[in-house]
Structure 1
Amino acid sequence: MQDLARVRVCSDPHFQWELVLSLHQLQPGSTPGASPADVAQWRADTLAALSGQSLGLRVHRHLLPLAPASSYFPDFLTPYEGMYGFEVGLDAVLSTPRGRIGSELHRLTTRSGAPSWGAELAHGRLSALHLLGDTMRAYFNSALVPLWPAITDRIATERTRLAAVHATRGVHTMLANLFPAAIWHPRDRVLETPYPIKHSVHLDGRGLTLIPSWFCSGSPVAFADTDLPPLLVYPIDHTPAPGPVPDALSKLIGGTRAAILATVTFGTPTTAILRRTGISASQLSRHAAVLRDNGLITEARHAGRTFYTRTPLGDTVTSPSTSPLRSSRASRSRGAGRC
């Protein structure tokens, strides 16, 4: 029970995990069709942007060999501290004890071959560490920063989803609904997930940190070293953004409110609505209050943020086939409602 009470969900994207998992998407052997459409598009755009650039060459030579899309890559690349900010996580990477770097690189060598500059890193040479840090920072700023607001929005939505399940149905149901491929065995208190190799992690009172990830696809990921803090990085839902707002709905409640209602799904954060609709925060607050008071959305606050969820009535009026205005016209055309 102590471990169940200490299950937590990372509140923001984990900077180093997203960086390393994004490198998996760039690996020559990766299959774009196996990734969600938005991740596959990011891969195509990023490969095109890096092609022919010095940064692209550095990523190819120094980062990709360290993070192969296989059953093992060094744990020191994804420190626990990465959930507190990119620079905090990067400092933890570069402060890894020399002996641990050497041990993990040796394990990588036995699994996937030796990176060309692995010996320099293993010996803790400052020039190699500076090169690693500079390349990770440059890659992050170039390939991930433009996407970071969207990643943050999706992670916030997933956290809100889990918080809602936990609050209403408890931690057992939350773990059972973590993601489609996860199986929770409540009697044995075992969470079973697909994994490239047989890998068991015993919590032993340490709790578990769940890290939703935008770049993780297919199987979840955990630290290879079971002595490190237990965590599980798992893929989030990549459902496409809402489609066009029905004309009938815009005529009924106004274009701005219709756009807000069409954008809101489950636990949609304020930032996502502002970005997709282009309205101001004050406009959103005013129109959201009207939608909320009329039972079309609900509002929740968590950790200083506001999230909106569409109600069943909101789902009904945003469906083109059940738009109130269209249904009204159809009823009149059939002679319904006659005295």
Structure 2
Amino acid sequence: MGLRFHVTGEDLRRIRVMAEPDVSWEMLLAAHMAQSPEVPPSLRRWRAATRARLTAPVRRLLALTPARGYSPDFLTPAEGAEGLAPVLEAVRSLPRARLRGQLRLLDRRRQALHWTGVLGEGGATALTGLAEGMGAFHRSFVAPYWTQIRAHVAAEHARSARALREGGVDRLLATLHPGVRWDPPVLELTGLRFDRDVRLGGRGLRLVPSYFCWGAPTVLRDPRLPPVLVYPVARDPGRLLRVDHVAGAGDGPGGFAGGPPAHLADVLDSLLAGRTDDAAAALLGISSRSYSRRVRELLAELGVSTRFQAGVAAARRGWI
């Protein structure tokens, strides 16, 4: 089972890798993560803390975003590349026919929810309520990580640019992700729960690296919409998600009790990954001197003197 993009020469010329995170996709995929019964151990604390802080507006979004199965395409408009405000405006302006058509594709249990029925009426009040829920979810569970998310997406964009320079678009498409197979003129996403052929027909393809996309790449359901392929850039998102908020502490950034300070979590990640200081600094978008200073701060926080000891001490504290 899988999806096959049929690619023309014109499509190859119009393929773009996004250099910035897409707000709407990060929000949607974080909502999936928050509800998934199957997450790696590093995500369990984040998921529990997220669920403990759900508000009524946020639940409006989660009602439409099951961990598995269909989520409406209108939650990820093309405006996601432009920022949160354009996304929320696109949602508030949804045509009623498109809204109802996509809600009918939800599973029966979610279609039967009272909120889904109210939303299906397409009234301005309901659409504003959905936009408020999306905004609240973004502020609480996505925005606190935005600096790190941008750094990971920028690093992937740089890697893609190198692949393009060294081997052209063939190298780019062949190295996107293990779940993406390029066999010209077909780009196939394997391991999906459905089987579909999509002919790009000269529309090109927008490639969206995503931090909150965990496991397999994903796409829009409606093949008539501008084609998008969203794929993961992080092997273990829990390294970042482990340091979000203390449950009940409000909407500002903070750190989980028992976890490293937020600005040091990505430093610990780099140490454990064995990155050089220069590579880690580039990934985080800071100078090598600033990175070295953060490493010293992390060692002091852990009460150790060497980088090797840092990993052992972090494990003892339950940080990894």
TM-score category of the 2 structures, normalised to the smaller one:
0.7 to 0.9
Is the Cα contact below 8 Å between 2:103 and 2:111 reproduced in 1? no
1:159 is matched with which residue: 157, 160, 163?
157
Q: Deviations over 1:126-152 (max 9, x none)?
A: 221121111111111111111111111
| Residue identity opposite 1:59 in structure 2 | V
**Residue 268 (1) aligns with residue 283 (2):** yes
Is the Cα contact below 8 Å between 2:214 and 2:234 reproduced in 1? no
Closer, same or farther in 2 for the Cα pair 1:102/1:194, shift >3 Å? same
**Residue 227 (1) aligns with residue 235 (2):** no
Closer, same or farther in 2 for the Cα pair 1:158/1:273, shift >3 Å? farther
Could you tell me which residue of structure 2 aligns to residue 237 of structure 1? Answer: 234
Bigger CA radius of gyration: 1
TM-fit CA distance, 1:276: 4.2
| Residue identity opposite 2:130 in structure 1 | L
The normalised TM-score by structure 1 is 0.68
TM-fit CA distance, 1:161: 0.3
Closer, same or farther in 2 for the Cα pair 1:274/1:105, shift >3 Å? farther
The normalised TM-score by structure 2 is 0.72
Secondary structure of 1:200 counterpart: strand
Corresponding pairs, count: 257
2:31 is matched with which residue: 19, 23, 35?
23
Cα-Cα RMSD = 2.9
Closer, same or farther in 2 for the Cα pair 1:10/1:145, shift >3 Å? same
In structure 2, the gaps of 5 or more residues are 1-8, 240-268, 295-306, 309-320
Paired with 1:144 and 1:226, the residues of 2 have a C-alpha distance of 28
1:183 is matched with which residue: 175, 181, 184?
181
| Residue identity opposite 1:56 in structure 2 | T
| Residue identity opposite 1:144 in structure 2 | V
Q: Deviations over 1:171-196 (max 9, x none)?
A: 0011000012221102x333343322
| Residue identity opposite 1:2 in structure 2 | E
Higher relative contact order (CA 8 A, sep 6+): 2
Paired with 1:272 and 1:16, the residues of 2 have a C-alpha distance of 30
Is the Cα contact below 8 Å between 2:280 and 2:291 reproduced in 1? no
TM-fit CA distance, 1:95: 1.3
Paired with 1:245 and 1:184, the residues of 2 have a C-alpha distance of 29
TM-fit CA distance, 1:261: 4.6
TM-fit CA distance, 1:220: 1.2
| Residue identity opposite 2:270 in structure 1 | P
Q: Deviations over 1:243-296 (max 9, x none)?
A: 2899xxxxxxxxxxxxx95251596363486874458xxxxxxxxxxxxxxxxx
Counterpart mapping for 1:1-80 below 5 A: 1-27=9-35, 29-33=36-40, 37=42, 40=43, 44-45=45-46, 47-48=48-49, 51=52, 53=53, 55-60=54-59, 62-80=60-78
| Residue identity opposite 2:285 in structure 1 | T
Is the Cα contact below 8 Å between 1:24 and 1:30 reproduced in 2? no
Could you tell me which residue of structure 1 aligns to residue 203 of structure 2? Answer: 206
| Residue identity opposite 1:11 in structure 2 | A
Paired with 1:237 and 1:197, the residues of 2 have a C-alpha distance of 25
Paired with 2:171 and 2:273, the residues of 1 have a C-alpha distance of 34
TM-fit CA distance, 1:123: 1.4
Paired with 2:289 and 2:87, the residues of 1 have a C-alpha distance of 29
Paired with 1:274 and 1:193, the residues of 2 have a C-alpha distance of 42
